[in-house]
Amino acid sequence: LSIVNERVFDNGPERVAVPLRCLVAASNEAPESEELEALYDRLLFRLIVNPVSDGGVSALIAATAFSSDPQDSDGAIPLGLEDAER
């Protein structure tokens, strides 16, 4: 929380300044401890999503995949289901 509140990180005995402009957090479960509740309270936007079903994984990848035509992409590398399975 010191990074969020004070923009500093305690690295052992050393306190390091953190030039924080944006904080993005993700979790697989809702916070249950007091420490995680405190962090959760500081997040402005919260989006709770349901897990992707086994049958929906390929549809999710297909919906977000880049075009395989290099002229259609902005330098991003197209990914397929086989990449996600690695």
In this structure, what token pair is assigned to residue 47?
């989006």
User: Residue 74 CB: number of other CB atoms within 10 A?
Assistant: 5
12: left (phi over 0), alpha (psi -120 to 50) or beta: left
- pLDDT mean across residues, the chain: 80
Q: What is the pLDDT of residues 30-56, one digit of tens each?
A: 888 888 888 888 888 888 888 889 888
Name, in order, each residue with C-beta under 8 angstroms of 57's C-beta and a sequence gap of 6 or more. Answer: 81, 84
pTM comes to 0.47
What is the C-alpha R_g of the chain?
Answer: 19
